[in-house]
Chains A and B, each alone.
Chain A
Amino acid sequence: MNADSGQGQLFRSYLGSAPAAYAMAFGSLAAFTVGAWQGSVLLMLGGPAAIVLGVAGIAWYFADRKAANDFYWGFASSVGLDYANQTSLLTLTPLLGAGNRRHVEQWMHGRLPGNLSGGIGQLVWERVQKDSDGSTSVKERNRFTICVVDLDPSLPYFRGVYLHPRRGLFAPYSEWLGRTPVRTVEVESSQFVERYELRAASDQEDLMLRRFFSPTVVSWLANHPLAPGFELKAGTLCVFVPRPLEDAGNLTYLIDAARHLAGRVAGEVVEELKRPVAH
């Protein structure tokens, strides 16, 4: 199952519906008449064809949207989450505040597997530029799949951990950390370093970070098929992939990755709480 499932069937049903049929019939007739009145054979033949293509294009667009909405609604129901077509989230991590205009589509939220509170959806963030004439233009539009988990107890221990997939020279999206004060953290695995850039808030405790990025976590991340990145800040874990995931398998995989990472964070917090307080 994916976001395109049922798209063809919906398209056919939309195209065969009365409004589409009327639009095509009246539109074609009108174009033909105008062509005849103008004495243009091209308009008499091309006009109706353009009308039919236009109606088909509109039907395809709506079928595509409806199929995607149905798929995400169905997926949310199957994993026990509530569905919202569009929402906005608090900018708790740098990614959730990326760009200067953003919203979340296909937001599925509630109790994630592992009894975690959070949600999964597609973050659309844009860089919008104001031109000299006062108009605005979209310079960059990105669609990331995110899985956000509330991890309030981690707040005092994880001040800011940012694991981003390495962007390379021709990355389709720009850096979003902006002015966040960060330092680069070195990890011993070459495979991991080739895949990721790890940065941490300047006041993040190093020992906690090292313990979190234990060899099992590093090895797991370095070999994960989705290559998920994550940000952990303000008691919020945001696991993401910098592309839209549009099938049930990969969405489940991302939720599972978030559950795994949240489990590690929770484990470290529990260990820290067990430790005797230094006087």
Chain B
Amino acid sequence: MTAVYVVLGVLALSALWVVLAYNALVKSRNKVDEAWSGIDVQLKRRHDLVPNLVETVKGYASHERETLQNVTEARLAAVEAGEPAAVERAEARLTSALGGINALAEAYPDLKASDNFRRLQAELSGIEDEIQAARRIYNSNVQHYNTRTQQFPTLLIAGTMSFTKRDFFEIESPAERGVPQVAF
């Protein structure tokens, strides 16, 4: 009879552990999703700002059609991107295209001096800081979640209940990713 109680006790403890481990995994996964929506909010703010920026630049440099077109297309692609990997690519393209606007500002002193342009640039810079912070939060949550799914014995629950590994989110323009060339 004692052996039965011991087995029942072990089973009850195991069941309790499964419930706790499962709940911890769900909580961790939800945090990743919440952090993703945090990034999404900031990206939407950036998307909303771009048309104003383009309009302002048009007023000073209307014949720089190619740069403005590039930004508009990059914005559209970023708005339409759904999956994290696609968002990552589209946002990198938008970041790169917005870099073109900064270059334009250097070539057009009136544009650079415009109050509206400076305000929008400051706002954009603030939003980009928020995007970077949201990205750090997301990546930290992903690391936390991935570690949980890979640690023994939680990986037994994660494996059987389809808690799949999540990817980190990076927004870098291809130019930033490149190795700098040093010439002597």
User: Which residues of A approach B to under 8 Å, CB–CB?
Assistant: 186, 188-193, 214-216, 218-220, 222
Contacts and interface: CB of A to CB of B under 8 A. Distances in A.
B141 A190 contact: yes
B28 A190 contact: yes
B144 A215 contact: no
Q: Is the interface of B mostly helix, strand, loop or mixed?
A: helix
A191 B133 contact: no
Given A188-B35, A190-B144, A193-B31, 10 more contacts: A188-B34, A188-B137, A189-B140, A191-B141, A215-B42, A215-B130, A215-B131, A215-B134, A215-B137, A222-B140
Contacts of B136: 215, 219
Q: Ordered nearest first, which 10 A-B pairs have the shortest CB separation?
A: A215-B133, A215-B134, A188-B34, A219-B133, A216-B133, A189-B137, A190-B144, A188-B35, A190-B141, A190-B31
Bin chain B's interface residue count.
10 to 19
B130 A188 contact: no
Contact of B133 (A186, A190, A218): A218
Given A214-B130, A214-B133, A215-B133, A188 B38 contact: yes
Contacts of A219: 133, 136-137
Nearest to B42: A215
B150 to A, nearest CB: 16
Nearest to B130: A215
A189 B129 contact: no
Nearest to A223: B136
Given A188-B141, A191-B140, A216 B129 contact: yes
B38 A215 contact: yes
Contacts of A215: 38, 42, 130-131, 133-134, 136-137
